[in-house]
A and B are shown apart, each in its own frame.
Chain A
């Protein structure tokens, strides 16, 4: 049974990724590249425009990552020092922006720019690369706070205390003692933010202005508007190669073992008042202002304010097949399925990445992260032309939607779990083994409870990813009666009329609230499970 369990740990994630990602993508690329594809591929690098597009894509993703790190690290440090309950609340709250549809956030940013006179003149932000970067920080703030903050919380604080006693200043302690130990989590968070920005679509189109293009927006342009699958597939190859290179790089960084051991629990510490409030104010400004615009828009009716837009959500408008509020039920159902898939597949895969043989570990790490850096068009159209025959004709089945969501959720689970598992003190395992525990028991009693901390953070992400409809779902056909909240929101915004727009904003606010509550619930569930162990 033990070998069977081992085989399954490897086979399940492998089969999942092969069937739902690798084969579909390979199939689409080969379909697209047949007949002159390589020629086009060479031409891409010859064309000044495409070279510029590739460079801009990498550049904006790298800068977005650095900026997000810079902006979110203070909050991560604060989260690390909070009590478990508060930490859970903050982790849930910062997740909220993550699920908002880009068309809504883009509109909120443009509204803000206009209000503060930043839409034209010397201080113009609208339609510039700054607008793109600001939006990427807004969306990805949660990635850094959650991944780094949770990992940080598990670090043994005694080392810092010793450094301080030995006379190191606060900053020096951070740079020389804390930062090196945080490297695996920072690398993991950076990889995710980079990939998310790398394949960002709506933000680039809406906020970047008509002149900005990335590999992702060009894949869409060629595949859909122009119907030129060959060029689209060539660009998709470029995208894949770039992503593989990046993942290999971060894997190297992440691999270096943390210098010291971890503790399962850490006592919350007092933090300076100025630091605390400064941090909260900064976060409120960064995340709160665009959200404030949305809340204001959801409440505004005519020249005044009213709750009418919220009330309207329980009635069906002609533009939607069901009342807007009911679409949340579909969203939640998909999110539960997608999160379960992501947790099982991603959880098992993390074990392989950490304990598997070197080559296997590398391949898993790469293969399971790739979907995050792959164009939604590539995955969606790939599934469409691959899973199209019985017994796996999933094109019109509802299950393909949560599966596509899970593809994007899995990297989050893996990237949050692996650093935590790697950080588990080897001496703990040895002690257990000496006391007579068989390896499977060691894993159950030691790896699972500690790894669980990474797992819930990853699960929270997978849930948010699904609720926010990231991934290939916009390029897959879907049944009208299973419409989700973000899709409903787009629909409401696609027809003129103040009441439809008001309802769309109200639905966005409800969506945010649902996500906050759900993420708290997911992460508390783990708290209870922990208590029982």
Chain B
């Protein structure tokens, strides 16, 4: 026992040292940017080319660590729990369906980036500039063209027609972000959205728990028997980029009339000791270097007017000019009521 005791003691001490070493990040008090390391808190869909953040470090001397926090909902919940003592300096990826919750919890420091002049006004949802729009994506009904067996729907209302019976799979708005966005789309679009969902239910709509389950188990893409799925406007692009064997045109199409707009924002987290560096990172996110890199890495669209889209995007997706939208405060105020009502109608 004695020898093992010593070993165990050594282990505890070593662990303690490791823990302390890892716990205390080197934070400089003075806001000289050079040599600062800041932490970008984001969701787990985050991706960029290696060269992109390196360009930021080269320009400013600020190194960026990435901290991923699960899906957007988990990320916001975590940030609210640690409000005032944030795990990082900048948050990126909070979208308009969760925005109000983050704003209400006072997560962000206002910052109006000069680069905002390059961003159309329709994306600037917070007049106080606590958050800055960085990218957007639309949640839309996708169809697998060859498996439809009929003409693609052109109107959201078409989905309750008999020819689309048993063909649509949606995600549960209580457990899925695109599922919730699609519910919002129907609420914006139809005055009697409850009647619309009753119609979808009568038309044998299937409800999956999440996007992966819907797209890869029930939708044609994963061998499923449903050729209509709630996914993203950019999904056909990914179907081309990640096709195997390669294809020229996407096997899927988008019902443009069904698209609900999700805008993703970045904000300086209140309590950061690195305000200047954090603001510099927000500025950088609106530069062409960052904006042009976003589409092929995260399959979302840049918000700046000067950004350019890669060819595969231009060839395979048309962004609708008239997406369905809803103001974040209304979303937050009604979320529980709407999802509960939805559950009664569709699952009850």
- Interface residues in chain A, defined as those with a beta carbon under 8 Å from any beta carbon in chain B: 1-2, 4-5, 8, 12, 31, 103, 106-107, 110-111, 114, 205-206, 209-211, 217, 220-221, 223-229, 301-302, 308, 317-321, 340-341, 344, 348, 381, 384-385, 388-399, 440, 443-444, 474-475, 477-481, 483, 487, 490-491, 493-502
Contacts and interface: CB of A to CB of B under 8 A. Distances in A.
Interface in B9-63: 9, 11-12, 15, 18-20, 22-25, 39, 41, 44-47, 49
A394 B22 contact: yes
20 contacts: A8-B5, A111-B217, A111-B223, A205-B210, A206-B208, A224-B71, A225-B339, A228-B336, A301-B245, A391-B20, A394-B19, A396-B39, A396-B67, A399-B18, A478-B69, A479-B67, A494-B211, A495-B299, A496-B221, A502-B244
Given A1-B2, A205-B175, A384-B81, A396 B25 contact: yes
Contacts of B172: 210
B66 A480 contact: yes
The 10 closest A-B pairs by CB, nearest first: A497-B242, A397-B22, A480-B66, A499-B244, A205-B209, A210-B207, A496-B238, A393-B23, A477-B69, A440-B1
A210 B209 contact: yes
Contacts of B1: 2, 5, 440, 443-444
Contact of A390 (B24, B225, B244): B24
B146 interface: no
A176 to B, nearest CB: 40
A381 B65 CA distance: 21
A388 B82 contact: yes
Contacts of A496: 215, 221, 231, 235-236, 238-239, 242, 252
Interface residues of B, number: 80
Between A225, A393, A398, A480, the greatest number of chain B beta carbons within 10 A of the residue's beta carbon is seen for: A225
A397 B70 contact: no
Given A223-B77, A318-B47, A497 B241 contact: yes
Contacts of A114: 223-225
A124 to B, nearest CB: 12
A306 to B, nearest CB: 9
B68 A477 contact: yes
A128 to B, nearest CB: 14
B24 A493 contact: no
B212 A494 contact: yes
Contacts of A481: 66
B70 A474 contact: yes
A5 B5 contact: yes
Given A226-B336, A394-B19, A395-B87, 9 more contacts: A5-B5, A318-B47, A321-B47, A384-B82, A390-B23, A444-B1, A477-B68, A477-B78, A477-B87
B174 interface: yes
B273 interface: no
A205 B339 CA distance: 17
Nearest to A387: B23
Contact of B44 (A103, A384, A443, A491): A491
B82 A501 contact: no
Nearest to A481: B66
A365 to B, nearest CB: 21
Contacts of A474: 70, 74
Nearest to A19: B19
A499 B172 CA distance: 26
Contacts of B65: 479-480
B188 interface: no
Contact of A499 (B71, B209, B225, B242): B242
Contact of B174 (A225, A396, A487): A225
Contacts of B25: 396
A106 B214 CA distance: 12
Given A319-B47, A344-B8, A399-B18, A224 B212 contact: no
Contacts of A384: 78, 81-82, 87
B190 interface: no
B195 interface: no
B288 interface: no
B73 interface: yes
A107 B87 CA distance: 34
Given A320-B47, A502-B244, A107 B213 contact: yes
B22 to A, nearest CB: 3
B245 A302 contact: yes
B189 interface: no
A323 B126 CA distance: 38
A453 to B, nearest CB: 18
A418 B77 CA distance: 39
Given A103-B212, A318-B47, A497 B24 contact: no
Contacts of A12: 8, 12
B73 A225 contact: yes
Contacts of A497: 238-239, 241-244
B19 A397 contact: yes
Q: Which of B76, B78, B210, B339 has the most CB of A within 10 A?
A: B78
B243 A107 contact: no
A474 B236 CA distance: 29
Contacts of B347: 210-211
Nearest to B23: A393
Contacts of B49: 318
Contacts of A302: 244-245
Contacts of B231: 496
A477 B19 contact: no
A36 B37 CA distance: 41
Contacts of A2: 1
Nearest to A391: B20
Contacts of B211: 494
Interface in B223-240: 223-225, 231, 235-236, 238-239
Contacts of B5: 1, 4-5, 8
B27 to A, nearest CB: 11
A500 B242 contact: yes
